[in-house]
């Protein structure tokens, strides 16, 4: 008695071309939608929806602005020996900040962003309420040393000084990102003023940090995917002494990843399942949280390979005993089909707790659950048997040879 999975595998082999054509047709819409992938940043996607803390946080953002809740800091590092409390440096730094405000406003206007930045948006040892302190601070240090030292100590540490930067834009929106880019461009041209060196400037804050982290992560993401798949090929190739086995495994992984991430774009970016009314499938900010695909990718690949290797080991065992490729696949399905499906269901249930949570973790859980279920119920039951049926027994395991009979 071979069981239902072996029968399904035999049927997949009998209609191999049809199975692969259907698989190709199914994946096409997901591949088409992948280039439109977008992501969101911020803290709100990670907070539990509907909870009191989240409601209070949203109210604060609406009342005072996201830029106020997440302040930005401009760090100025001067050359060793620079006297930050000198009138000359204070005047140059104040002038540089004023010029930066004008440059940022002009740059945003070119980007059609209606936002004007002023000197009052800066608060530091060299500027308060839009006014330069180059005359006041030295006087305070001379005649009221405690007050002057307190003011200087609040912003100055060694050769560096910080400047608080007020922002009325949401730093996690497109306009906010344009402001960050405009600020950095202006900073590059504000290292000196009227011949006096001000120093190197660095913009810090949750907005710039997440923008940089997301940009660098997704810039490296294609390389990470490529390196991961190469390592998969090498490890599986050495384990099974075959070239075709790892190639088939990588093809199945790519097929599964395209469907999983494409489905995530449909659901969390295009709102394909809004009609269900379930919070777990609602878009948060109009796109996926930027960490979700990065975290899920390696886990999905690892789980997919886990079931694939377990299944392939059974196929190789039957092949070494003299079975053809088709017979080996059917035998492997008879022995491992139920185990793989049970393991996949258990894993999906485990991730399901996160799927129906109330934060961006449900996006990660969806990617994991969907990937596991596709691999357990479709890849090993339909795709692999169909591929093996279209290749000869020798081609399926090339250049591996059967183990010698004992």
Question: How far apart, in whole angstroms, are the C-alpha atoms of residue 337 and residue 6?
Answer: 8
pTM assigned to the model: 0.83
pLDDT for 142 equals 65
User: pLDDT tens across 129-143, in order?
Assistant: 888 888 776 766 666
Question: How far apart, in whole angstroms, are the C-alpha atoms of residue 43 and residue 124?
Answer: 27
**Closest C-alpha among 355, 367, 379, 333 to residue 3:** 333
* Helix or strand (DSSP H, E) at 288: strand 288-289
Distances (CA, A) of 152 to 74, 196, 399: 16, 20, 73
The pLDDT-based confidence of 73 (bands split at 50, 70, 90) is: very high
Q: Is the pLDDT of residue 264 over 70?
A: yes
Question: How far apart, in whole angstroms, are the C-alpha atoms of residue 366 and residue 299?
Answer: 12
Q: Is the pLDDT of residue 146 over 70?
A: no
Supply the mean pLDDT for the chain: 87
Question: How far apart, in whole angstroms, are the C-alpha atoms of residue 55 and residue 348?
Answer: 31
Question: How far apart, in whole angstroms, are the C-alpha atoms of residue 35 and residue 261?
Answer: 11
Question: How far apart, in whole angstroms, are the C-alpha atoms of residue 199 and residue 82?
Answer: 9
SS3 132: strand
User: pLDDT tens across 213-244, in order?
Assistant: 888 999 999 999 999 999 999 999 998 999 99
Range 160-175 average pLDDT: 89
Range 94-106 average pLDDT: 94
**Dihedral angle computed from the Cα positions of residues 160, 163, 169 and 172, in that order, rounded to the nearest 10 degrees:** 20
User: pLDDT tens across 38-57, in order?
Assistant: 888 887 777 777 778 888 88
Angle between helices 206-240 and 291-320 (to 10 degrees): 0
Domain boundaries, given as residue ranges, for the chain: 4-51+209-397, 71-204
Q: Where are the beta strands (DSSP E) in 14-130?
A: 39-40, 72-77, 122-123, 127-128
DSSP secondary structure code for residue 287 in this structure: B
Range 371-386 average pLDDT: 92
User: pLDDT tens across 332-356, in order?
Assistant: 999 998 999 999 999 999 888 888 7
Residue 69 CB burial class (10 angstroms; 0-12, 13-18, ≥19) = middle
* Ranges 121-135, 223-237, 246-260, 361-375: which has the least confidence: 121-135
DSSP secondary structure code for residue 241 in this structure: T
Question: How far apart, in whole angstroms, are the C-alpha atoms of residue 103 and residue 47?
Answer: 36
Q: Output the CATH code of domain 4-51+209-397.
A: 1.20.1640.10
Question: How far apart, in whole angstroms, are the C-alpha atoms of residue 357 and residue 336?
Answer: 32
Residue 6 CB burial class (10 angstroms; 0-12, 13-18, ≥19) = buried
Q: Using omega within 30 degrees of 0 as the cis cutoff, is the peptide bond preceding 399 cis?
A: yes
Q: List the structure tokens of 363.
A: 């996006």
């Amino acid at each position: 008695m071979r069981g239902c999975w072996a029968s399904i595998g035999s049927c997949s082999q009998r209609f191999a071309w049809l199975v692969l054509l259907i698989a190709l047709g199914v994946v096409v819409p997901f591949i088409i939608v992948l280039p439109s992938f977008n992501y969101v940043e911020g803290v709100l996607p990670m907070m539990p929806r509907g909870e009191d803390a989240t409601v209070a946080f949203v109210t604060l953002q609406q009342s005072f602005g996201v830029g106020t809740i997440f302040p930005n800091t401009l760090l100025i590092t001067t050359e060793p020996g620079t006297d930050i409390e000198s009138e000359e440096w204070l005047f140059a730094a104040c002038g540089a900040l004023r010029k930066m405000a004008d440059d940022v406003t002009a740059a945003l206007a070119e980007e059609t962003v209606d936002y004007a930045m002023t000197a009052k948006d800066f608060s530091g040892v060299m500027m308060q309420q839009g006014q330069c302190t180059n005359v006041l601070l030295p006087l305070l240090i001379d005649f009221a040393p405690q007050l002057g030292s307190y003011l200087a100590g609040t912003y100055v540490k060694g050769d560096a000084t910080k400047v608080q930067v007020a922002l009325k834009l949401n730093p996690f929106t497109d306009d906010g990102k344009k402001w960050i880019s405009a600020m950095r461009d202006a900073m590059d041209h504000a290292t000196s003023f009227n011949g006096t060196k001000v120093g190197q400037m660095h913009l810090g804050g949750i907005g710039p940090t997440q923008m940089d982290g997301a940009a660098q992560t997704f810039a490296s993401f294609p390389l990470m995917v490529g390196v991961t798949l190469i390592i998969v090929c090498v490890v599986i190739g050495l384990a099974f002494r075959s070239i075709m086995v790892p190639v088939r495994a990588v093809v199945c992984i790519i097929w599964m990843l395209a469907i999983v991430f494409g489905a995530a774009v449909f659901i969390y970016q295009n709102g394909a399942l809004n009609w269900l009314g379930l919070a777990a499938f609602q878009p948060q900010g109009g796109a996926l949280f930027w960490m979700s695909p990065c975290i899920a990718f390696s886990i999905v690949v690892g789980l997919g390979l886990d079931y694939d290797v377990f299944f392939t080991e059974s196929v190789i065992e039957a092949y070494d005993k003299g079975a053809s490729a088709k017979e080996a696949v059917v035998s492997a399905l008879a022995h491992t089909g139920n185990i793989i499906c049970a393991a996949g269901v258990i894993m999906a249930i485990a991730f399901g707790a996160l799927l129906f949570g109330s934060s961006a973790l449900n996006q990660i859980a969806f990617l994991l659950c969907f990937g596991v279920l596709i691999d357990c119920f479709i890849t090993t039951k339909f795709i692999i048997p169909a591929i093996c049926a279209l290749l000869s027994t020798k081609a399926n395991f090339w250049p591996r040879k059967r183990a010698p009979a004992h």
